[in-house]
Amino acid sequence: MINFAPPRIDEKIIEAVSETLRSGWITTGPKTKLLEKKLSEYCGVTQALCLNSATAGLELALRWYGVGPGDEVIVPAYTYAATANVVIHCGAIPVLADVNKDDLCISAEAIEKAITTKTKVIMPVDFGGLPCNYDLIYAIAEKAKKDFQAANEQQKKLGRILILSDAAHSLGATYKGRNAGKLADISVFSFHAVKNLTTAEGGAMVFNLPAPFDNALIYKQLSITSLHGQTKDAMAKMQKGNWKYDIVEAGYKCNMTDLAATMGLIELERYTSDTLPKRKAIIDAYYNFFSVYSWAELPVLKDEERESSYHLFPLRIKDITEEQRDKIIQKIFDRDVAVNVHFIPLPMMSFYKNMGYEMNDYPVTYNNFSREISLPVYYDLSMEEIAIVTKAVRESVMEVL
């Protein structure tokens, strides 16, 4: 069986994690702090905060901006549940927007239509690792400034809708020469097991707020929020005579462990030189193979302004129904190849359906979902295995078309 996206767990990772296990310090400590430093350098920003998931980072960002009941947050209909669930956690309303039919990123036109005086945040999702058109999104937020109703200090200071990038897929992607992490006010990466860079579970918030915001101070505040509102982390408390601490808020518990950060440090060290080129080579091989078939619609991976992080290869089959797509998937699995679908749109999920969201309102999302099959992409996938995948896909499509 060819798996969909097993993590790259080699001797280097095992050795490094073993060393951390033996060090006597396994929770948030020096490894986490080092990963934060290296990540911020990698993205070209001053501050990154490591957490136990991207979901936690998205929610902390919304709460930091004071998003709550009565507020609206614009998210794409075509995303993973995390993007909208965090809005619900805050008591606010996710306002869904349709996506572009080519790159599957949130549609600027749909955002403009969705904005009201209650809109506090836009959360673009870098689908499959391809950055959205952030200049366009900023221009929309700028245009909506005159109607923005600031309800707290942060909102007054920014004076507009916050651009919070769900960059769960896009570490290493670029837009107009800038790295993901430097494209929105706050960006959140995921280091979940299937992601390009994994810490088993994990994520990071990267801060890029404009002056007069003090990103270092926000990092410090949110580090405290991520650990129960405690003024000292476990490591600091352990220092000689430093045991006393205070709780300054009813914070959350979503800090990253040093065990996870140890994996992240190895993964980051080889990310540009090894991981990204390997993923690109796999995806290029798929691209070249399928480009000769008239039934294949290929994903946007690169254009004049952007380059993907090559997280996914979301193949679409032209002019098929959802039922036909499901049949093709079954046939691919029957050939011992695991594939996936990104994503089952939010309005098709019971929870969101029961809230009243309707799939018919997002036709581009539905059309693309119904024809989409994500192919395996992972570091250890060999060219021989790629040939097995492409053969399985081609034969399965032929049997159904």
The binding site for ligand PLP (CB under 6 A) comprises 53-55, 79-80, 82-83, 125, 166, 168, 190, 192, 203
Q: Least distance in Å: CB of 60 to ligand PLP?
A: 12
Q: In the bound complex, what is the minimum distance in angstroms from residue 256's beta carbon to ligand PLP?
A: 11
DSSP for 96-116 reads EE-B-TTT-SBPHHHHHHH--
Q: Is 310 exposed, middle or buried (0-12, 13-18, 19+ CB in 10 A)?
A: buried
Q: How far is the CB of 392 from ligand PLP (least distance, A)?
A: 24
Give the side-chain half-sphere CA count within 13 A for 247.
8
Nearer to ligand PLP, 167 or 296 (CB): 167
Cis peptide before 289 (omega within 30 of 0): no
Three-state secondary structure call for residue 219: helix
Q: 245 Cβ partners below 8 Å, 6+ apart?
A: 230, 231, 232, 237
* 54 or 184: CB nearest ligand PLP: 54
Closest CA to 97 of 69, 137, 148, 130: 137
Q: Which of 75, 138, 134, 79 is nearest to 104 (CA)?
A: 79
Residue whose CB is less far from ligand PLP, 192 or 325: 192
Q: Are 396 and 335 in contact (CB under 8 A)?
A: yes
Contact (Cβ atoms closer than 8 angstroms) between residue 2 and residue 337: yes
Least Cβ distance, residue 307 to ligand PLP (angstroms): 18
Least distance CB 168 / ligand PLP (angstroms): 4
Q: Say how far apart CA 382 and CA 359 lie, in whole Å.
A: 38
Report the alpha-carbon distance of residue 136 to residue 112 in Å, rounded: 10
Q: 65 vs 290, which CB is nearer to ligand PLP?
A: 65
Choose between 61 and 296: whose C-beta lies nearer to ligand PLP.
Answer: 61
The two counts, helices (H) then strands (E), for the chain are: 15, 13
With respect to ligand PLP, which residue has the nearer C-beta, 192 or 316?
A: 192
Q: Which is nearer to ligand PLP, 111 or 386 (CB)?
A: 111
Q: Minimum CB separation from ligand PLP for residue 166, in Å?
A: 5
State in angstroms the smallest separation of the CB of 202 from ligand PLP: 7
